[in-house]
């Protein structure tokens, strides 16, 4: 995710009011959940500014913006605060004009949410891999289970027979899932796409999406961040700048 300003840390002063006509996004460069919000902001062409927060050394005031201390959070010029990635993305899509990312049809909307639930059964295992790597534990069993669940998800996607996971064009479900796929390399599961042909085809299609291209992080930069992150190094969040 682009940006050259260093992340704000404990002791950093809080930013001032959000300018009229804009919105402020509190993000961390390498967080997949923060990237969800950034994808929606870019895809809809929403005027915004970004404040990067060091999630390993958070400013005290950040908990006033996001009570759980998590990114993303957004703040409006009226001082309204919204946090949690799915809630943030839904808010942005509902409030701002531009391309509608969430289906208007209630059933299609429910279908997308169900697809996200199916994918979460696989993606939750990736964060177990992170924990295992931090403890220098073997990850082969977790990776095997992940592949099994990803193959099941690939079969669900295949039955939909649409180019994008959410339908005939890119939509909210695609942007909610993409940041996890982008990080397959650091989780050590990139070879799983070779065994999930429909997801592999979707992955290649998403690489051409303008919002994805605007928010993607080079694999070598992700790798550099992840190595430092596993060590608990607070400088990891600003790797590469």
pLDDT of 4 = 60
pLDDT of 98 = 87
What's the rounded mean pLDDT across residues 150-158? Answer: 98
Average of per-residue pLDDT values in the chain? 96
- The CATH code of the domain that includes 70 is 3.40.30.10
Which of 80, 100, 120 is the last residue in one of the domains? Answer: 100
Let me know if residue 154 belongs to a domain: yes
For residues 32 and 114, membership in a common domain is answered with no
For residues 201 and 112, membership in a common domain is answered with yes
pLDDT of 229 = 96
Burial of 104 (0-12, 13-18, 19+ CB in 10 A): exposed
For residues 158 and 200, membership in a common domain is answered with yes
Under 8 Å CB-to-CB from 124, ≥6 apart: which residues?
none
> What range does the domain containing 34 cover?
23-100
- Cα 77 to Cα 19, 36, 60, 91, distances in angstroms: 6, 21, 21, 15
What's the rounded mean pLDDT across residues 128-147? Answer: 96
pLDDT of 5 = 87
For residues 113 and 195, membership in a common domain is answered with yes
- The CATH code of the domain that includes 197 is 1.20.1050.10
For residues 110 and 39, membership in a common domain is answered with no
Per 3-state DSSP, what percentage of the chain is helix, strand, and coil (rounded to 5)? Answer: 55, 5, 40
For residues 71 and 111, membership in a common domain is answered with no
What's the rounded mean pLDDT across residues 5-18? Answer: 96
For residues 116 and 165, membership in a common domain is answered with yes
Burial of 87 (0-12, 13-18, 19+ CB in 10 A): middle
Residues with a catalytic annotation lie at 31
For residues 34 and 123, membership in a common domain is answered with no
Q: Does residue 236 have a pLDDT over 70? A: yes
pLDDT of 64 = 97
Let me know if residue 75 belongs to a domain: yes
Let me know if residue 148 belongs to a domain: yes
For residues 121 and 163, membership in a common domain is answered with yes
For residues 124 and 192, membership in a common domain is answered with yes
For residues 137 and 189, membership in a common domain is answered with yes
Let me know if residue 44 belongs to a domain: yes
Residue 43 to residue 48: CA distance in whole angstroms: 12
What's the rounded mean pLDDT across residues 87-98? Answer: 96
Q: How many domains does the chain have?
A: 2
Q: In this structure, which long-range contacts are made by residues 76-83, counting pairs with CB atoms below 8 Å and at least 24 apart in sequence?
A: 76/18, 76/23, 76/24, 77/17, 77/18, 77/19, 77/20, 77/21, 77/22, 77/23, 79/17, 79/18
């Amino acid at each position: 995710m682009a940006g050259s300003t260093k992340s704000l840390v404990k002791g950093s002063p809080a930013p001032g009011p959000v300018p009229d006509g804009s919105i402020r996004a509190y993000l961390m460069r390498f967080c997949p959940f923060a990237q969800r919000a950034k994808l929606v902001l870019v895809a809809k062409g929403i005027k915004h500014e970004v404040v990067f927060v060091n999630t390993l050394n958070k400013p005290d005031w950040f908990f006033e913006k996001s009570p759980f201390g998590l990114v993303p959070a957004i703040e409006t010029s009226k001082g309204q605060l919204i946090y949690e990635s799915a809630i943030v993305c839904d808010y942005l899509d509902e409030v701002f004009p531009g391309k509608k990312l969430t289906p208007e049809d209630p059933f299609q909307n429910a279908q997308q949410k169900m697809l996200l639930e199916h994918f979460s059964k696989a993606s939750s295992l990736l964060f177990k891999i992170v924990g295992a790597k931090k403890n220098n534990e073997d990850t082969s069993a977790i990776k095997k289970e992940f592949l099994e669940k990803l193959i099941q998800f690939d079969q669900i996607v295949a039955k939909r027979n649409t180019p994008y996971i959410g339908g005939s064009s890119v939509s909210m479900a695609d942007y909610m899932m993409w940041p996890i796929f982008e990080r397959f390399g650091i989780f050590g599961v990139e070879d799983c796409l070779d065994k999930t042909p429909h997801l592999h085809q979707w992955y290649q299609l998403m690489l051409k999406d303008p919002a994805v291209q605007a928010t993607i992080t080079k694999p070598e930069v992700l790798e550099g961040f992840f190595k430092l992150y596993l060590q608990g190094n607070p400088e990891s969040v600003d790797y590469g700048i």
